[in-house]
Structures are given as C-alpha cells and as structure tokens.
Amino acid sequence: MNQRSDELFMRRAFDLARLGSTGVAPNPMVGAVLVHHGRIIGEGYHRRHGGPHAEVEAVRAVSPTDRPLLRQATLYVSLEPCCVFGKTPPCTDLILQEGIPKVVISSVDRSPGVDGKGVEILQKAGVEVITGLLAKEGDELSATRNTFVTQERPYVTLKFAHSTDGFLGKPDRPVWLTNAFSQRLVHRWRSEHSAILVGTRTATIDNPQLSTRFFPGPSPLRIAVDLNGQIPEGAHLLDDRGPTWIIARKSPPRASHYKHTRWLLAQDRDDWWPLLLRELVDAGKSSLLVEGGAALLQYLIERGQWDEARVFVSSTHLGGGVPAPILPGLPDRMLRIGSDRLYLFHRAVHTR
C-alpha cells in the first residue's frame, strides 16, 4: 500500500466512526476497516455504548469466503485497540486470535489501562503496528473521550450565532439569526452531546426546548444556570418532560413535584461551574454543548473553560443589541451553510 491508499482507508474508518456519534458516549467513536490487497473485506464501527467494538464489527462483516484472507489483511482503525476487559473483551485478543498481521492506528486511546499498551501487546506478539496516520484528524475524533479520561471533565463545546455586525440578538426579545439548514445542524450537534447548557437570560427570553426535534437523535441532558430563581414556572426547561438540571442557590418550593428535574445547589457565582463538572463526570456525561447566552459564554471564554467553539455568522444586520462574545485567536476553518458562515475554533490551537 502507498501513503495515499493508507490515508483513504483511514478516512473511511473516520467516516464509519462518526456514524456512532449519537450512541456510544462516554465511550469513544471508533471505525475499523479490514483490507486485503487493496480491497475492503470488512468494516464496522462502534454503534452503541456497551455494544461490540469497531474491530469486532469489522471482523463479523467479513464473508465466509474471505475469512481466510484475514491472515494476510491490514486493519485500519481510528483509535488504538483496547486491551482491557470492560463491557466487552479486549480487541487486541481478537486481532491476535484472527491472525491479522498488520494494524494501522490513527490516535492513541488515553483510557486508563490502554494508553499505548494495546500497541505494545500487538507488537510483542509479532503484529506490525503503524501509529499516527492522519493523527491530527484522529485526535480530533477521539478528543471527547481522551479529555474525559485524562482530565476527568467533559469536553466543552461553545456554540453561538451572531449578526454580520456582531450582535447575538436583542436584550428583550428572541431573535432568530441562522437559516433552516444551520438549525438542523445544531440539532444534530445536540444529539451528539451528552448535555447542553444555557444561562438564565437565554432560558427566560428565548425559552428554548433544547431538544433534537429537527434531527432523529437522542436529546441531551438539559441544564440551565438560574442562581437567582428567575426562570418562570411555565418555561420549557421546567416542563419536566426530560432529564433536566437547574443550577440554583436553593430549590423551589415545588421541587419535589418534579420527576425528571433536579436542582444542583451552588453557593455563589464561582462555585457552580466546578460543581457542574463534578456532577457531569459522576453521571458519565463526557461532552457538554454550551448554547448561550452572552454572559455565560464570555465567562467560560475568559476562564479558558472550553475546548471547541462553533460560531455562525448570519447574513442578518441587527444594528445594535447584545454584543457577541470574543474568542481568542483566529478560527481553524470556515464552512458555508447556505447563507450562513460557520467558523470553527479549537482552544488548544491557541494555547500551545
């Protein structure tokens, strides 16, 4: 195989991995492709938490007539094969059992007990192992999992939209800025995150549902910061229709009447964020999408409490209103979503 072919097969593994984006957390998204003399003979991805890993799915996909070819095949996998017993057996055992002679890996799995040991086990058994193919893309794909296990906190993504003249909206009424394509994309992002967070003003003025009603995926845990108890009882976030956390200084009188809503009690403005991170980790929530408002977003930006930001710039001109937060550095890239522009930032790029 040449470098170009290797990269094509690894990109296929990445594409497969992303198919599991809504069901595997807090496990990582992983894709695997088995290749014999340039032909894909099996492929798979991690579909759901607790289910078979990508390597298992790829081996199972090999037809009976092609199974003898496994002993001459190359396995391309987006993340280092696991080597510990969890909800499923180690994938390193499967690779050795099937006699797969070569494994190409993009990113190292930083999970305790793995973190390079999977590579070591395979190499000691005589398997040819190549690591770091398309490493930057592989690391981005596994960033949520690796952040969760190494820093013991969820991966934090900021999302907001502003007008061409730099305003999020008006201070006293909701303003819709982005187009229908961007709206649906945001609902997909929600389905790919374990939890979603908004501040008090967003919860009261915009009255969001924070659901995935425009995309066929699971809705995340809804969270709102409401230290002074300002969210009205009729707000969507207090409809008790799905798992919801409200961060407050005290519980309301009717808190016991709610079945799906929980109040996290914080002491002050600086206490609620560490409290929330601890609770999310304890609940196994590996990713958090922060959708506003301006004060909450700027609070996290100033303290460096974010990993990634996704910023829409609309074609709308507001002529005044709530100023958009300011992110450090320049975006990594820009995409066009119809009439909107989407700018992607990664904090690590600006803090090395």
Length of the chain: 352
User: What digits encode the pLDDT tens for the residues 185-242?
Assistant: 999 999 999 999 999 999 999 999 999 999 999 999 999 999 999 999 899 999 999 9
Q: How far apart are CA 99 and CA 108, in angstroms?
A: 22
Counting as low any pLDDT under 70, the low residues of the chain are 1, 349-352
Closest to 217 in 3D by CA, of 192, 194, 184: 192
- Per-position DSSP letters for 99-163, written without gaps between them: T--EEEEEE---STT-TTHHHHHHHHTT-EEEE-TTHHHHHHHTHHHHHHHHHSS-EEEEEEEE-
Closest to 266 in 3D by CA, of 221, 301, 226: 226
- How many Cα atoms are found within 13 Å in the side-chain-facing hemisphere of 121? 19
Closest to 91 in 3D by CA, of 144, 37, 155, 27: 27
Question: Which of the following is catalytic: 43, 55, 57, 192?
Answer: 55
Burial class of residue 141, CB neighbours in 10 A (0-12, 13-18, 19+)? buried
Q: Is 308 a catalytic residue?
A: no
β-sheet bridge partners, residue 39? 36
Q: Which pTM was predicted?
A: 0.94
pLDDT attached to residue 87? 76
pLDDT attached to residue 1? 61
pLDDT attached to residue 85? 83
pLDDT attached to residue 84? 87
pLDDT attached to residue 184? 97
